[in-house]
């Protein structure tokens, strides 16, 4: 198994193409779900619709569906509840599908209505951390160094960071090596594929999550998931 993990770190062109198509399909399915979300809907009904949209996007199965409303957005992976979406609530997603044996993994955050100044401020700072972290992902840079700089970027924008990793390899498994974590010194290399996730959570209050598919190219990182604008907090 360790040998196979090492082999799977570098993806073939066909694997990269499949992962890119899976990620884009999932992102479009998520946006379709966001665009129809209305106050008064139950969280579990929104989760069901997201799953159906991921299936309709071409997935063989939805692999995981964390679609959280308002105060539930402050938790990482809660079960869906009967809480109802309220005007101006956060609607946070961490979701994916299974496409011909490979996984997608996308994270997005929107407000259904009008976001507060505080929410805009938190999101803008988080987006800055996200951009800066991805920019460090050059061939030859150890995964642990990406994580170290990620932690520093959080400090620079005054957001507490107490999470074990900043991203992970993606492919036949949802979490593959390398991990963007303190104990993984694997040098990044062309044709590695990562889900880079930048997030902050206050349980029972609110949470924010940005997660993109990133392919390491010879000249640096390429963000594949561009269908939704993550540079600002979307208000729907």
What pLDDT, on a 0 to 100 scale, did the predictor assign at position 1? 62
Residue 52 CB burial class (10 angstroms; 0-12, 13-18, ≥19): middle
Low-confidence ranges of the chain (pLDDT < 50): none
First CA to last CA across the chain, in angstroms?
Answer: 45
What are 176's strand-pairing partners? Answer: 169
Torsion of CA 179, 183, 189, 194, to 10 degrees: 10
Cβ neighbors of 198 (< 8 A, separation 6 or more) are 126, 127, 129, 130, 133, 150, 166, 209, 210, 211
In the chain, what are the domains? 2-235 (3.90.230.10)
What pLDDT, on a 0 to 100 scale, did the predictor assign at position 194? 99
What pLDDT, on a 0 to 100 scale, did the predictor assign at position 99? 99
What pLDDT, on a 0 to 100 scale, did the predictor assign at position 12? 98
Give the predicted TM-score (pTM) of the model: 0.96
- 93-119 tens-digit pLDDT: 999 999 999 999 999 999 999 999 999
CA 233 to chain centroid, in Å, comes to: 15
- Cα 8–Cα 11–Cα 13 angle in degrees, nearest 5: 155
Q: From start to end of 27-115, where are the E strands?
A: 61-69, 89-99, 102-103, 106-112
């Amino acid at each position: 198994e360790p040998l196979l993990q090492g082999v799977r770190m570098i993806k073939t062109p066909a694997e990269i193409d499949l992962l890119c198509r899976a990620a884009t399909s999932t992102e479009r399915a998520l946006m379709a779900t966001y665009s129809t979300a209305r106050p008064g809907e139950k969280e579990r009904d929104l989760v069901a619709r997201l799953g159906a949209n991921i299936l309709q996007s071409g997935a063989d199965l939805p692999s995981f569906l964390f679609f959280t409303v308002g105060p539930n957005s402050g938790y990482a992976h809660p079960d869906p509840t009967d809480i109802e979406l309220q005007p101006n609530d956060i609607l946070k997603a961490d979701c994916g599908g299974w496409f011909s044996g490979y996984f997608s993994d996308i994270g997005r955050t929107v407000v259904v209505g009008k976001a507060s100044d505080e929410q805009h401020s938190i999101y803008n700072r988080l987006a800055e951390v996200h951009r800066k972290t991805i920019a460090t992902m050059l061939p030859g840079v150890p995964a642990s160094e990406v994580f170290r700089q990620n932690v520093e970027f959080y400090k620079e924008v005054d957001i507490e960071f107490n999470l074990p990793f900043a991203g992970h390899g993606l492919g036949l498994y949802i979490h593959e090596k390398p991990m963007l974590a303190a104990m993984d010194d694997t040098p990044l290399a062309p044709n590695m594929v990562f889900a880079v996730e930048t997030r902050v959570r206050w349980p029972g209050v609110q949470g924010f999550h940005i997660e993109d598919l990133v392919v390491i190219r010879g000249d640096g990182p390429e963000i594949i998931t561009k269908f939704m604008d993550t540079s600002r907090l979307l208000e729907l």
